[in-house]
Structure 1
Amino acid sequence: MSKNSSVSKAFAAAFVVLTASAIAGIVTMVILYKTQIATMDPTPRPTFPPTTTGLPPVTRLPKNLVPERYKVLLWPRFYSQILEEVNVTSPNQTVLFTGNTTVYFHCVQGTSSIYLHSQNLDVYGPVVASTDTDEGIRVTRMENHHDQTNFLEIELDYALKTGGNYSLFLSFRGEVSGGLEGLYGSSYEEGIPAHEDDTDTDRFLIATSLEPTFARRVFPCFDEPDFKAEFEVTIIHRRITMALANGINTDGTNIIDDDWKSTSFQPTPLMSTYLFAFTVSEFTPTPSSHHRVEINTYARPKATAAGHAKYAADITGRILDYFERRFGIIYPQRKLDQIALPDLISDGMENLGLIMYQEGELLYEEGVSSRLDKENIASLIAHELAHQWFGNLVTMKWWNDIWLNEGFASYMTFYAVDAVEPDFKLKDVHILNNLHSAFEADALASSRPLSRSQGEVQTPSQIMQMFDTITYCKGAAVLVMLADIVDQPVFDKAIGRYLSDWKYKNTDQNILWEYIQKADDESTGERNIAEVMNSWTKQIGYPVITINTTSGEAFQKHFLFNDSAVSSLSWHIPIRAMKYTTLFRLIWLKPGESAMKDEFVATKGEWILANVNCTGYYRVNYNPENWDRLVTQLQKDPRRIPLKNRGQLIDDAFNLARAKLVDVTLALNLTRFIRNETELIPWAATISNLGYFVRMFDRSEVYGPMQMYLRNQVEGLYNSFRNYTDNSTVPTDHASQQIQIKAIDVACSNELPECIEMAQHMYADLMKINSTNIIHPNLRSVIYCHAVAHGGKEEWEFAWGLYLRSSDVSERDRLRQALSCTKKIWLLSRYLDYTLDPELIRLMEVASSISYVSRNVAGQALAWNFIRAHWNYVRYGWRQGDRGSDRQVLHPVRTGRAGAFCDG
């Protein structure tokens, strides 16, 4: 018998003991855990020599010319319907688009060269003129640099004059992208034909996705965020279609001939090129009620007619009002369009005046969509509307500070949803899940600073890498901490001034610190904001503070999962602490120092709790005596510990054990109180962290006893919902709906017999009826998954049939996830093969489908081998479906969704 095998059996025995007697079992487990985990330590990260192939000398546009206004004409030649096909396999669709642009710019430094961006475009016919004198300037050479700069270089006969104003006219042609970047095409079915003679056909549309560096693929432009300009756009399109763009439609359209018409739009406010957007489609609007702004939400005509856009339309105006009141700045346009697209590279894109969404994230179908989908819709709309101020109105100077866009949008989402949908009670859940996602990514030696130097973020690929968990989640987490440091009213006052003074301009984080500093000085003036916050934004990671409640000593250390890593980093740490019932003032732990604080001394029977309400971006460790007192308090009366801290204590303990800073005994002991817990936050933390055990031991003897322990822990919670689940109904309040799903998922995953029987029974009834879905939409994800997991070919193929027949995106997503739950390897293999057919699984859904399979212990090896065998196809789908996604940023507890909260 191998050493590993004997350790696993001993650890399995420990879990049995834990189930019967938690204290004795935990004491037995500690040595076994250490031995087992030692065998699972990853190999050290390889080190690489410095690269010798540097960047070109210049990758940024020169600042000698400043664009002020664009006049853009675009003519996509596509058909929205293929009425007369040349043949079945090759319809007469076209991917060509043509256009021209005139950019008006100011010369701030004399030059005989014009540099702007162009990529994958055939550019011709340059005309340069002085708008001051109407004098033409001869172009002597034009060259498109086909490297990572994408520079379009135009040489002139003589130099432009400092202080002069000029125009550049260019014609261009290009092809509609086959991916989801730049100007791309998308198709959808407008209803499923009821019979062979039905005239319904596939429909086609055109849309844009230009963030961060894809505007240059649509028209030649100064494609950097600090080159803001006005955009005046005209779109030529088929007469049966409708064009939308950033600006307000000028009065009507111009009919060109029997096939074509043009739509012109009023100039936009000053904005960056990545926010340029337009669509051409047959979609129809659902209007929103608003006292000043004309708001319309566009979707497929049948979806609009069925009322699927009504919830989005209802909540948009309310969220817009909330942000206008909070910032004291009105939304800068008189119109706001939203559109639900079949395909989009991320779940939402905040284009000024034309916000785009994946339709499954915006549309709500009563009786099919989960009630919890409303949470996701509200959150995503709030995120994109927050961008109208953070990103659109005030924009970062360069992509190294993209967190000023995304971190603020994530942060503001917490409060906007809580304001307009208070019954959801999700602010604390969102804040804590955001914190945990940031912690997970930032505890790796491979993490990066929140704000990099501009020199480190130059090429398009480097820019794309900035759209990650650090930007979205850590960005929001440090803002939560900053608001707590200076107090929320001071923070809000500073942000209002910042937005007002810098509207239509570009900023960096130093400017933000100045505004916070000024407001703080007017209040208390106790700290150097830039010094404090730069320690959190300009270096990787975060600290763990260790408090000895006997001596009162506190010190900090860079928290890393790799316990052998050496780091000298330190931070300015604001500590909110309480002793039993007393909340202390803010206590500071400075870089490189330990501190002796009377507040941290606890007498016999008292406990100290630091990072009260989890506003700080750090973990906390204590001396064993204080941990024991906290464990006792949780078992005796957990409500004496703030709700968020009940979840945070579990998360801290498990991650400290993972980093070998405390014994795993402690982490397991902390889960004992969960048996009587009914709140979502502690359960979510427990499930997430025990999931780490599942991933480590799902193929060992430990797994059975571990399931037994979890089964006993969740049984009471599951039984509290039996009256609902047995009747396929759900509680009325939102939080209880969330915890109900958790209870079913944990109970069925850990083989609670009555849970599995319930899932199989409900699914079998559905298979018999095969028409009206009797399972409540809230419960479908967990019921589908566990019925398929405990079923065979018949159950799997029934789910596949439902997937093929369903036209609702949220239902299709649930079924895609459920199909990955089977334990039959041959069915998982078939499912993976289906991902290679875009007619069955859309390209943007390939990544999440494979990810679902990889989470199934039966599918891990299959998924890995599949990725390697089909990398040329899979990597393209991964790029389309796995960008830093606002769905992942905003949806922490949605069952059946890929990715952790905020995970990029």
Structure 2
Amino acid sequence: MCRHTNNSTDGASLVPSDREVLPNNVKPLHYDLTIEPIFENFTFTGEETVDFHVIERTDYITLNSLEIEIQEAKLNDVTVPYEFDVAKQTVTFKFDDHLVEGADAKLYLKFTGTLNENMCGFYRSSYKDNGVTKYLATTQMEATDCRKAFPCYDQPAAKAKFTINIVTQKELTALSNMDVRETTLLGDDKKVVSFNTTPIMSTYLVAFVVGELKYVENNDYRVPIKVYATADTENLGVYAGEIAAKTLKFFDKKFDIEYPLPKLDMVAIPDFAAGAMENYGLVTYRTVDLLIDTANTNAATQQRVTEVVMHELAHQWFGNLVTMEFWDGLWLNEGFATWMSWYAADALFPDWKVWESYVSDNLQQALSLDSLRASHPIEVPVKRVDQISQIFDAISYSKGCALLKMVSKWLGEEVFVSGVSLYLKRFKWGNTYTSDLWDALSEVSGKDVNTVMNIWTKNVGHPLVKVEEVDDKLVFTQNRFLTTGDVKPEEDQILYPVFLGIRTSEGIDETVVLSERSITIPKPANFVKINADHSGVYRTAYEPARWTQLGEAGAEGKLTVEDRVGLVSDASALVSSGLIEATALFNLVRTWTEESNYVVWESILAKIASVKSIFIFDDESIKEGIDAFVLDLIAPKLKEVGWEFSDKDSFSSQKLKSVFFASAVSSGHKEAVEFAANAFEAYIKGDKKAINPNLRASIFNYAAKVGDENTFEQLLDIYKTSESVEVRISALRALGRFNKPEILDKVVALLLQTDVIKQQDIYIPMQGLRAHKEGINKLWSWLTENWDPIYELIPPSNSMLGSIVIIATSSYTKQEQKEAVEKFFAEKDTKGYDQGLAKALDSVSAKIKSAKRDIAPISNWLSVNGYSK
């Protein structure tokens, strides 16, 4: 039941009057569901009894249902007719006698469905066991696919209890959200596993998994934690189990609410569209995001697994215990879980210093997407089902997280977490609007969080703060920022409350807030840096002299890591929009050759690479000149740290070495490419220790870049036969790095061979292809020539289709290329991926402008500084 504070009407006002939702004439209370997967023909059978409470007098009940066949329907033991509406994804049951307000009713259904291979609803996942293909049945209900598993009230606010029973072969493992109540044998070869009834929860969190699974158990927490996987891989779940135990303890304490279920299961699924899913008590993951061999993994993968586990477990409170009222509040779930994973990682792994990475990772993802005209508000009114999957993007996750980071800095982390705890306690087992969270934070902090945050969440975009120095004054002015640099007056109406966070030699002044178009303050006597530690969600533009001074301050150690990363990122964004020349970015970082932080170097090298990518279809001399600049830039530190690893290397040391090596190989460093070639040859000959896990991706990529058909077969064999998921993924991505036409033909031919490359992994070699112009062109040809089978394999209801469109189009840099994309999709039904296409075209438009604008000054800079041949 949804409970609101007095301000809940503020959230309710966002609800579109024409939103496609079910009637509210009845309310589901409890589902008693029995389901049986049949692997012989990939179908399933089901029976359910749904208990309803009647809200208003009615002669019908409508449920969501899609791709389900109903054999029998009874209301209160009387057979009733039913009618499907495929377009609306509903089934309506009609009856002669009206149900009266306040009464209860029981709807019994017997049905069948297909164990699909689209990674949604109740689906099948395949894997190899000693060369034999085997299957397991699993679920992915979020956002609106529970209706493919059983007819239901498939809306977040329609919370109910679920009693689930699974019929299967007796040798198979059956899992669901709750612990097992009893197991009953059915003859010689079958059993029914009955689970205890769940607490009240939303349909998108229902889950069940059936298959040949093994587990490792961790008992460091109050309730048992089991990590399940296919046979002989379960031991790779030990690390995730340990992280889960630490994380649950941490969240118990921070939220002051104990994890409410009697167990936690985490399952590695061989076919999985997302990274992981927070099903209550039964969290499912991509194999690569759960199972790792800590002795043979790289630092980045270990951190990724840690943060994914923490993200999903944060959802057990924020999303599962307290749930958004509808999908336009998705950011409440995802933004918070993202922030909480950073917060927990910082507390439990302080040596990782994750908030430094936050600025280069999370914040930049948010600002990059939000700087496109095709962006959307965090709270975006959702009307149709096809719109829901498209908001699972960097706005909901990363910008949502960034705003919460901003609020936590403003209020103080402990006050912020205290407000979150109050919010969770107040709405435990219920549904909320965003304003309910702001109310709780306002209550504990004494600040007007609602007024401030409504501006940030309900409007699209973010500001650029221009800093001008006039005599003894600083003038701050805000305008909307767009990568394309062509903001129209009607797009620049919103004035944000911007926390300026002014850093000087005396410390940080957090009191100045820019909530008007422009304000003026006295100029401090020493150096000035805006957005200290980059906790604010905006870009900053300085005058040329100030950029130079800040570059010097960064080289002298006067700026934090977050400041240095943010400075580089802001400069890069301003280059893209044409507000400063690309050479300003080069001049900013060229004095940072003694920089020792890997996060700063990752940012520097990534931003230089993004400039280089703008000219991917231009004269090779620019690419070669930028490569020469990069080699000159990294030379001192590369010589100091090298690329040899030892057991004594810290996390940051491993990361720094891998960053330098990757850049050196990419830019043609003689010794680095020789090492890569020799290491790959030794690896192929059987010495699996010849390649350190931190260098694996770089070495595989280089081997493909210079390789022939024999190299292709070697990498393909690694992908097919390696027992390590990490190794397989690195090899698969490297396949896209080949540039010989005949090999590229073989690469793209694999993309739709689901017996070779799993549907979930189709984007991985595509990422490699977009790294060079031959691959970009081949990728576009593949997309246009195979659109129909792609569309059939990955329908628009699957968010992966939008990702594929973005990957296949957004690397173009020429007007004629953009026009070809527009012409192709003008004849297509873009429903379900239209936002992804718009984002890609926005990105291409920005590159077209930047390429024309910057080619002359960059060529001249490279020549003047001795980097051109």
Fold shared, TM-score > 0.5 on shorter chain: yes
Aligned twin of 1:295: 225
Q: Which runs of 5+ in 1 are unaligned?
A: 1-54, 79-92, 130-135, 193-200, 889-898
User: Secondary structure of the residue that 1:163 maps to in structure 2?
Assistant: coil
- Name the aligned partner's letter for residue 692 of structure 1: S
Q: Quote the Cα distance in structure 2 between the aligned partners of 1:837 and 1:574.
A: 51
Counterpart of 1:747 (choices 664, 670, 685) is: 664
Aligned twin of 1:105: 52
- Name the aligned partner's letter for residue 440 of structure 2: Y
| 1:822 maps to 2:738 | yes
| 1:270 maps to 2:200 | yes
**1:719-747 Cα distance to aligned partner (Å, 9 max, x none):** 2232x43xx65762111111211101111
Counterpart of 1:67 (choices 23, 28, 32) is: 28
Q: Quote the Cα distance in structure 2 between the aligned partners of 1:875 and 1:610.
A: 47
User: Secondary structure of the residue that 1:548 maps to in structure 2?
Assistant: strand
Contact residue 730 and residue 737 of structure 1 kept, 8 A:
no
User: Secondary structure of the residue that 1:555 maps to in structure 2?
Assistant: strand
Cα RMSD, aligned residues only: 2.2
Correspondence list, 1:781-820, <5 A: 781-820=697-736
**1:803-848 Cα distance to aligned partner (Å, 9 max, x none):** 2221321110010112222232321221111222222111111122
The structural deviation recorded for 1:366 is: 4.7
The count of corresponding residues between Structure 1 and Structure 2 is: 784
Q: Quote the Cα distance in structure 1 between the aligned partners of 2:705 and 2:454.
A: 49
Counterpart of 1:122 (choices 48, 65, 69) is: 69
Relative to structure 1, the CA distance from residue 56 to residue 449 in structure 2 (aligned partners, 3 Å threshold; closer, same or farther) is: closer
The structural deviation recorded for 1:431 is: 4.4
Q: Quote the Cα distance in structure 2 between the aligned partners of 1:710 and 1:291.
A: 48
Aligned twin of 1:519: 444
**1:523-548 Cα distance to aligned partner (Å, 9 max, x none):** xx4xx322211111111100011122
| 1:559 maps to 2:481 | yes
Relative to structure 1, the CA distance from residue 171 to residue 743 in structure 2 (aligned partners, 3 Å threshold; closer, same or farther) is: same
User: Secondary structure of the residue that 2:578 maps to in structure 1?
Assistant: coil
Aligned twin of 2:104: 165
Contact residue 270 and residue 287 of structure 2 kept, 8 A:
yes
Correspondence list, 1:675-686, <5 A: 675-686=593-604
**1:762-810 Cα distance to aligned partner (Å, 9 max, x none):** 112223x325442112211111211332333333322222222213211
Correspondence list, 1:234-249, <5 A: 234-249=165-180
Aligned twin of 1:370: 298
Q: Quote the Cα distance in structure 2 between the aligned partners of 1:507 and 1:377.
A: 30
Q: Quote the Cα distance in structure 2 between the aligned partners of 1:371 and 1:662.
A: 35
Aligned twin of 1:780: 696
Contact residue 843 and residue 881 of structure 1 kept, 8 A:
no
Correspondence list, 1:192-591, <5 A: 192=131, 201-251=132-182, 253-304=183-234, 307-453=235-381, 457-521=382-446, 525=447, 528-550=448-470, 551-566=473-488, 567=491, 568-591=493-516
The structural deviation recorded for 1:878 is: 5.3
Q: Which has the larger radius of gyration?
A: 1
The structural deviation recorded for 1:872 is: 2.3
| 1:713 maps to 2:633 | yes
Counterpart of 1:831 (choices 734, 737, 747) is: 747
Aligned twin of 2:674: 757
Counterpart of 1:646 (choices 564, 571, 582) is: 564
Q: Quote the Cα distance in structure 2 between the aligned partners of 1:542 and 1:881.
A: 25
Relative to structure 1, the CA distance from residue 516 to residue 249 in structure 2 (aligned partners, 3 Å threshold; closer, same or farther) is: same
**1:206-226 Cα distance to aligned partner (Å, 9 max, x none):** 001111111111111111000
Q: Quote the Cα distance in structure 1 between the aligned partners of 2:147 and 2:719.
A: 38
**1:276-304 Cα distance to aligned partner (Å, 9 max, x none):** 10011110110012342111111112112
Q: Quote the Cα distance in structure 2 between the aligned partners of 1:411 and 1:518.
A: 21
- Name the aligned partner's letter for residue 740 of structure 1: K
Report the TM-score, using the length of structure 1 for normalisation: 0.84
**1:579-634 Cα distance to aligned partner (Å, 9 max, x none):** 2333213211114x311112xx144xx22111001110011112333223212323
Q: Quote the Cα distance in structure 1 between the aligned partners of 2:445 and 2:221.
A: 35
Q: Quote the Cα distance in structure 1 between the aligned partners of 2:286 and 2:248.
A: 20
Relative to structure 1, the CA distance from residue 772 to residue 650 in structure 2 (aligned partners, 3 Å threshold; closer, same or farther) is: closer
**1:395-415 Cα distance to aligned partner (Å, 9 max, x none):** 000000100000000000101
Counterpart of 2:85 (choices 145, 148, 152) is: 145
Contact residue 75 and residue 236 of structure 1 kept, 8 A:
yes
The structural deviation recorded for 1:119 is: 0.9
| 1:842 maps to 2:758 | yes
**1:351-391 Cα distance to aligned partner (Å, 9 max, x none):** 00100011121111255433432211111100100110111
The structural deviation recorded for 1:470 is: 0.6
**1:744-766 Cα distance to aligned partner (Å, 9 max, x none):** 11111111111111111211222
Relative to structure 1, the CA distance from residue 376 to residue 235 in structure 2 (aligned partners, 3 Å threshold; closer, same or farther) is: same
Q: Which runs of 5+ in 2 are unaligned?
A: 1-15, 807-835, 844-869
Greater shift, 115-124 or 385-394, is seen at 115-124
Contact residue 468 and residue 884 of structure 1 kept, 8 A:
no
Identity %: 28
Aligned twin of 1:594: 518
**1:677-727 Cα distance to aligned partner (Å, 9 max, x none):** 1112221221221122211223412111111111111122222232x43xx
User: Secondary structure of the residue that 1:702 maps to in structure 2?
Assistant: helix
Contact residue 463 and residue 480 of structure 2 kept, 8 A:
yes
- Name the aligned partner's letter for residue 615 of structure 1: S
Report the TM-score, using the length of structure 2 for normalisation: 0.87
The structural deviation recorded for 1:425 is: 2.6
Q: Quote the Cα distance in structure 1 between the aligned partners of 2:580 and 2:325.
A: 43
User: Secondary structure of the residue that 2:236 maps to in structure 1?
Assistant: coil
Q: Quote the Cα distance in structure 1 between the aligned partners of 2:314 and 2:633.
A: 40
**1:104-147 Cα distance to aligned partner (Å, 9 max, x none):** 11112221111111111111322222xxxxxx5x5653111111
Q: Quote the Cα distance in structure 1 between the aligned partners of 2:130 and 2:710.
A: 27
Relative to structure 1, the CA distance from residue 786 to residue 824 in structure 2 (aligned partners, 3 Å threshold; closer, same or farther) is: same
User: Secondary structure of the residue that 1:101 maps to in structure 2?
Assistant: strand
| 1:156 maps to 2:111 | no
Contact residue 57 and residue 98 of structure 2 kept, 8 A:
yes
- Name the aligned partner's letter for residue 805 of structure 1: T
- Name the aligned partner's letter for residue 790 of structure 1: V
